[in-house]
Amino acid sequence: MVDKCCYGCVGGTRVNLNDYLVKKFIRDNGNTTDQNVRAAYGFLEAWVSIVGNIIVAAFKYAVGVWLNSISLIADAIHTASDVLTSVVVLIGFRAARAPADDKHPYGHGRVESIATLIIAILLVMVGLSFGKASIDRLLSGTPVRGNWLVAGILALTALFKEWMARFSIDLGAQINSSTLVADAWHHRSDAIATVMVIIAIGASALGYYRADAIFGLAVSALIVYTGASLGLGTASTLIGEQPAPEVVERISAIAAAVPEVQSVHSVSVHDYGAGRMEVSLHILVDRDLSVHRGHEIAAAVKYAVHEQTGILPVIHVEPDEPERRPARS
């Protein structure tokens, strides 16, 4: 799946809409480790989401009232709730870019994760609310008018929401932000929910009125599942989830490749969010080397890791003695 959308062609060259917006509104957009640049990415995604969701939500709600469709009205409220999550994105990125201080020496990057958790909780709450409304409609058996023209128009809104999802994922990937990916899933679940509503409208046009409530329940389950998955993953990160093995292996390999490093062990990685990681590791060197030479090797390891990963590690030097060598599997 390609998570970018083509903006058009200029002089025979394909122009990507996502790249165009990034270059248009974000200065120094390639410097994604800078907190102000990261915040600019977050602000861009949030404002695009807010404007797009207001337009789509208003349209869905008006059509839902006209059709007397609980699933469509619920879908409209779901879309409107995405505005709130985008506000959370704005606040989260604004707080996360604050510099380190005495109380927070490692910065405020984890505010992004807190924002992701809030978005996930909002998703679950909205999903549960839709579920209750759908059950009430299923029990009452109120008919829903089917309209193929409206179904076709709603299909266009689903495509637009999927573009918004891909836009958010693209920006989230560029700055490695779980918050933007979470907001993307708000958009994507909304697009899927709209497709379900289209099916419900079609079923109603054929006389299967209870399909509206049934698909409303399906929408609710999708929203709750998405929110719970995002929430659990983010909570694990905040608690201090172990980094991916590939991260540790890469840092170990970089350090081990430095001349005179005998082996590497006790690699510890702490993720403070917003792209900031603190790393410490132990290197073993020849026991007969001078303290000065051991320090030079540690400096070389620090430089190599920083140059290739952007992380400035803390290095502990140990003499290479049998009892200090890490166990081999």
Domain borders along the chain are 6-239, 245-324
Give the rounded percent of residues in the chain with a pLDDT score beyond 70: 89
Q: Give domain 245-324's CATH superfamily.
A: Cation efflux protein, cytoplasmic domain (3.30.70.1350)
Give the rounded percent of residues in the chain with a pLDDT score beyond 90: 20
In this predicted structure, the answer to whether residue 226 has a pLDDT above a threshold of 90 is no
Question: What are the start-end ranges of the H helices in 141-282?
Answer: 148-175, 178-205, 211-239, 245-256
Residue type, 153: I
Alpha-carbon distance 300 to 282, whole Å? 13
Q: Which residues are registered as beta bridge partners of 314? A: 280
Q: Which residues are registered as beta bridge partners of 265? A: 282
**How confident is the model over 164-182, as a mean pLDDT?**
88
The pLDDT of residue 4 is 44
Q: Tell the burial category of 34 from Cβ atoms under 10 Å away from its Cβ (0-12, 13-18, 19+).
A: middle
**In 10 A of CB 266, how many CB atoms?**
11
Are 151 and 203 a contacting pair, CB within 8 Å? no
The pLDDT of residue 54 is 92
Run of H or E residues at 113 = helix 111-140
Q: Give domain 6-239's CATH superfamily.
A: Cation efflux protein transmembrane domain (1.20.1510.10)
Tell me the pTM: 0.66
Per-residue confidence at 24, pLDDT binned at 50, 70, 90?
confident
Residue type, 201: I
